[in-house]
Amino acid sequence: MQVHKYDVVIVGAGGAGMRAAIESGQRARTAVLTKLYPTRSHTGAAQGGMCAALANVEEDNWEWHTFDTVKGGDYLVDQDAAEVMAKEAIEAVLDLEKMGLPFNRTPEGRIDQRRFGGHTRDHGKAPVRRSCYAADRTGHMILQTLYQNCVKHNVEFYNEYYVLDLLMVDQEVTVDGVTRIEKRVAGVVSYDLASGELHIFQAKSVVFASGGVGKVYKTTSNAHTLTGDGMGIAFRRGIPLEDMEFFQFHPTGLAGLGILLSEAARGEGAILRNSEGERFMERYAPTIKDLAPRDIVARSMANEVREGRGAGPNKDYVLLDLTHLEPAHIDAKLPDITEFARTYLGVEPYTEPVPVFPTAHYAMGGIPTNIKAEVLADNDTVVPGLYAAGEVACVSVHGSNRLGTNSLLDINVFGKRAGLAAAEYALTADFVDIPENPTAETEELLNRARSSEGGERVALIRKELQDIMDANVQVFRTEETLLEALRVIDSLEERYSRITVQDKGKRFNLDLLEAVELGFLLDMAKVMTAAALHRRESRGGHFREDFPERDDENFMTHSMAYKDPSATLTSGVRLETKPVIFTRYQPMERKY
Amino acid sequence: MEKEPASKVELAPGVGGGGEIPTFDITLKVRRYNPEVSDEAHWDEWQLTMYGTDRVLDALHKVKWEHDGSVSFRRSCAHGVCGSDAMRINGRNRLACKTLLKDLDTSKPILVEPIKGLPVEKDLIVDMEPFFQSYREIMPFLVSKGHEPSKERLQSAEERDRYDDTTKCILCAACTSSCPVFWTDGQYFGPAAIVNAHRFIFDSRDDAGDMRLEILNDKEGVWRCRTTFNCSEACPRGIQVTKAISEVKQAILTRRI
C-alpha cells in the first residue's frame, strides 16, 4: 500500500474540482483524484449557459440575480451565499474568458447573453438576457477550459483513482479554557482502478468536488458514474447531509431516455405543448410561461400527463416545439441538442415537435458548507481542513430548487473559493497523523463485495432501486409512497449484503466498482426518502400531495440528515433542522 | 423581437414520434483480453434481444449486467459528450453510446474491439496516457501577452467562428486511433492533438500560434498526415479534422494565421 503526502487533495475533477485545483495548485502542493479522466466529468454535459449580470445586452445587476436565485429556491436559499454567488458571478465569467473560454459574442465582440428560466429583470417583471454561453455546449467548454488551464499550471492528476474513505481523527481542542472534541482531516483512502491497489493520500486539506447522485433514479440526465460517492463517504463518517429531499427534475429530457435537452431551447423561444397542441404553460405561469423555474414546469408537465393530455401512443410525454424557429437560428444556437433528438429519437426538430418528459437532473442538497466552502459537522461547527464545492455540496445557493445556469456558476464561484481556502489553510496547518489501520474499513468493504457468494446481482438491485425512486420519490410524493420506498430500499439493502461480484480480478475491476457505487446509491436513496418524509409541506422541487402548500411556520428551515442506527423508523437516518439565513428578502408567495 | 408562438396549434396525427418500439435479436462479439488470465486475446459472443432505441453501449451493459460482469469498458455520460467509450464497432471507430444498433447490419454479428494504436489494458480499455501526452505537448491553453483587460477581451463573431469547429473536441481518441500513420508510428502527434492546436492557433486572442506551429513542424508533426480522411469519418462530433490539419499545414507554410 502506497502513502502519498500532499498539502491539498481534491476529490473529483469536474468543474468545481478543477476550478479549485487551478487556485490551490498555484499556492500549495495539490493532487486531484478522479475516478474518471478529468475531461469525462459530467460538467461537460451542461449545455445552456452560466448566468452573470454582465449587462452586456440589456440592463441587469447582481441584486436582481440574487433575488431570482432566492425566489427560484422558494426562499430556502441562504441569502448570504446567494449574494456572494451573484456578485462573484461577474468575475467568474470574466476569469473563464481570460482562461480562453470561447463564449458566443455580440455584434460588438462582447460576451453574448440569452434568457433562461427564472432569470428576470427587476424582481420578476420579465425574462432577462443573463446567461453567458458557448452554443449549447457551455459545460463542455467550461470543462475543457478548466482542464486546459490545469495542464498550463501542471496540476497533478491521479486518474481513475476512486476515493472510498475520508480519514478523520477526533482531537481535543481547548479554546478559552473550554475543552471539546473536534474532528480533524487526515486524508483519504483511494482505490486505483488500473491495479486494484489501495493508496492513502495524507493531506492537510481535502476538498470534495465529486458531483451528484442522479443515478438513484432510472430516468436521468446524469452520467452512469454519478452515484453520490462523496456525499456517501461524508455521511458514513458522521457528517450530516443538508436538504436532500430536494432533487431537481429537468423538464425537457428526451422521452423514455432522459437525455437532456437544454432549457436554452426554451430560452431561444421553443415552447411546450400537450397532446391537444396547447401551450399549457400559459395556464401555470402566465407571466413567464415556458421560462418558469424547472420545478414548476416539470410539475406542470407531469400534471398534463396525469390529466390525460400527454402525447404519444401511451400519452406519457409532452412535446417541445421548435418548429416556429428558423432552422439557421436553431443550428447556430442549439446544434447539439437538436442532434440528440435526431440521433436518439429520429425526430427532426425543424419540422416536428420533440417528445420530452422530466428527467432527474440535480441534487440541491449535499454536504453542508458555509460561504468559505468549509464543511460543517453540524449547524455551525467547521471541520478544519475539510471543504466541499459543486453539486456534492449544499452551501445553500439553490434552496429547494436551482435555477438553470446556476450550477455552472456555483462550481466556478465556490470551486474557486474552496481551492483558495484549502490552500490557505494548508499553508498554516500541520499534517494530522494518519489513524491506525487507515484502510481497515475500505478493505472490509471491498472484501465483502468481492468474496460474498450470495448470488444477488448488483444490476438487478440497482434497477429495482431506480424503479422505486422513479415511481415513489419523483415529482409527486405522499407519505404513503415515501414509506413504501423506504421499505423497498431496506429490503434491497438486505439483498445487497448478499451480492456476488463476478469479476474476481484486480485489474480494472469495474464490476467491483459498480458494487461499491450501489452501496452509496442505497445510502443516498434512503437519506433522500427519509428527508422527504420529514418535510410535511411542498416547496420548490419537493411536492407533497398530502401537504400541497408551503408551510413557512414549520418548515422554513433546512433539513440535516445524520446517520444514526437508533433512528429505526426512518432506516437509520435522523433528521434535524438548521435555520435559513436571511439578509434582504422576506418570503413572499412564489408566482411567475 | 421574435414572434410569440400560437397558444394552440393543430397537431398532425402521429406527430412527435411514438408507436411501439420494435425489438430485435443481435449477436454481439467482443474482443476480450485480460493479462491477469491470459496473454492471448479472444472473442466472446452473446445473443441478445434489444430495443429499437438501444445503442451499442446498451448491448454492452446488457452483457455486463446480465451475463458476464467481467466484460470491461469505460463509459460515463452515455450520450456522446464525455468521450469515454470510443471503440471499434464493425471495424469503424465510433462512440458506443452514439451508435444505434438498428443502424448497424444486425443480420451479422456486431464486432466490438478496442481502438487501435494504444496499448490494451483489459478488454475494451486502452491506456490513454500516450494520447493525452501528445495533447499536452501542443500547449492546449490560451497564451496571451500584454496586460489583462479589466473586462472580457473583445472578439468578433467572425473571429469566434474561425475556430468554432475545433472547440467541439471531446478527446475521445476516435480520430487519432483511426489514423494508419498513428498505428505504425506512435510518436506521431495524431489528429486530436493537431485539432486542439488548431483551436488555439486560430483564436484571435492567442499569442502562441508560432510556437505551436513550430512544435507541429516537427518530423512527428503535421507532415506525417497523409490525408486519408479516416479521422474526419471517425469524429463523433462531426469535426472536419482533415480540413483543420490542412489549415495548420497551410499556416506553417505561409506563417500567416
Is A294 part of the annotated catalytic residue set?
A: yes
Residues of chain B contacting residue A45, judged by C-beta atoms under 8 Å apart: 77, 79, 81-82
C-alpha cell at A449: 463485495
- Closest residue of A to B122, CA-based? A508
Q: Is the dihedral of CA A408, A411, A414, A415 positive or negative?
A: negative
Distance from CA of A196 to the nearest CA of B (A): 12
Q: Which residues contact A530 (CB under 8 A, 6 or more apart)?
A: A486, A561, A570, A571, A573, A575
B221: exposed, middle or buried (Cβ count in 10 Å: 0-12, 13-18, 19+): buried
Residues of chain A contacting residue B6, judged by C-beta atoms under 8 Å apart: 279, 324
- Closest residue of B to A353, CA-based? B16
- Closest residue of B to A283, CA-based? B7
Residue A187 is classified by DSSP as E
Look at residue B63 and tell me whether its pLDDT is greater than 60: yes
- Check: CB of residue A565 under 8 Å from CB of residue A573: no
Per-residue pLDDT, A359 = 97
pLDDT digits (tens, 9 = 90+) for B178-194: 999 999 988 999 999 99
C-alpha cell at A342: 435526431
Residues of chain A contacting residue B15, judged by C-beta atoms under 8 Å apart: 311, 319, 352-353
Stretch A535-555: mean pLDDT: 97
Contact between A44 and B81 using a beta-carbon 8 Å cutoff: yes
- Check: CB of residue B192 under 8 Å from CB of residue B132: no
Q: Which residues contact A589 (CB under 8 A, 6 or more apart)?
A: none
The rounded distance, in Å, linking the Cα atoms of A160 and A24 is 21
- Closest residue of A to B152, CA-based? A94
Look at residue A199 and tell me whether its pLDDT is greater than 90: yes
Stretch A444-462: mean pLDDT: 93
Q: Per-residue confidence at B16, pLDDT binned at 50, 70, 90?
A: low
pLDDT digits (tens, 9 = 90+) for A419-450: 999 999 999 999 999 999 999 999 999 999 99
Look at residue B14 and tell me whether its pLDDT is greater than 80: no
The rounded distance, in Å, linking the Cα atoms of B172 and B131 is 10
Residue B236 is classified by DSSP as T
Judge whether A391 is annotated as a binding position.
Answer: yes
Nearest by CB to B171, from A39, A273, A279: name it.
Answer: A39
Which position among A184, A294, A462, A535 bears the catalytic label? A294
Look at residue A60 and tell me whether its pLDDT is greater than 90: yes
Distance from CA of A293 to the nearest CA of B (A): 20
Residues in B 170-199 with any Cβ partner in A closer than 8 A: 170-171
pLDDT digits (tens, 9 = 90+) for A471-481: 999 999 999 99
Per-residue pLDDT, B257 = 52
* Residue with cell string 470534495: A208
Per-residue pLDDT, B4 = 80
Residue A176 is classified by DSSP as T
Select the residue from B38, B68, B81 to test the A interface by mutation, using most A Cβ atoms within 10 A. B81
Residues of chain B contacting residue A40, judged by C-beta atoms under 8 Å apart: 74, 76-77, 82-84
Asked if A102 reaches chain B (Cβ–Cβ under 8 Å), the answer is: yes
The rounded distance, in Å, linking the Cα atoms of A112 and B8 is 32
Look at residue B21 and tell me whether its pLDDT is greater than 80: no
Stretch B163-176: mean pLDDT: 98
Per-residue pLDDT, A452 = 85
Percent of the residues in chain B that have a pLDDT greater than 90, as a whole number = 86
Contact between A508 and B7 using a beta-carbon 8 Å cutoff: no
- Domain borders along chain A are 253-358, 439-553
- Please give the domain boundaries of chain B with CATH numbers for all domains: 23-126 (3.10.20.30), 129-143+159-256 (1.10.1060.10)
Q: Which residues contact A152 (CB under 8 A, 6 or more apart)?
A: B141
- Closest residue of A to B8, CA-based? A278
The rounded distance, in Å, linking the Cα atoms of A293 and A124 is 12
A107: exposed, middle or buried (Cβ count in 10 Å: 0-12, 13-18, 19+): exposed
Q: Per-residue confidence at B18, pLDDT binned at 50, 70, 90?
A: low
Helical H segments across B72-116, by residue range: none
Contact between B7 and A102 using a beta-carbon 8 Å cutoff: no
Per-residue pLDDT, B140 = 98
Q: Per-residue confidence at A141, pLDDT binned at 50, 70, 90?
A: very high
Q: What type of residue is B117?
A: G
User: CATH class for domain A439-553?
Assistant: mainly alpha
Distance from CA of A396 to the nearest CA of B (A): 26
Per-residue pLDDT, B17 = 62
Look at residue B2 and tell me whether its pLDDT is greater than 60: no
Look at residue A175 and tell me whether its pLDDT is greater than 90: no
Contact between B34 and A345 using a beta-carbon 8 Å cutoff: no
Q: What type of residue is A241?
A: L
Asked if B204 reaches chain A (Cβ–Cβ under 8 Å), the answer is: no
The mean pLDDT value of chain A amounts to 96
- Check: CB of residue A53 under 8 Å from CB of residue A91: no
The rounded distance, in Å, linking the Cα atoms of A134 and A112 is 9
**What ipTM goes with this model?**
0.96
Question: Which stretches of A198-243 are assigned E, i.e. beta strand?
Answer: 198-208, 241-242
**Strand, coil or helix: what is A325?**
coil
Per-residue pLDDT, A465 = 98
Look at residue A154 and tell me whether its pLDDT is greater than 90: yes
Q: Per-residue confidence at B20, pLDDT binned at 50, 70, 90?
A: low
Q: Could you tell me the fold of the domain covering A253-358?
A: Flavocytochrome C3; Chain A, domain 1 (3.90.700)
- Check: CB of residue B171 under 8 Å from CB of residue B83: yes
Per-residue pLDDT, B1 = 42
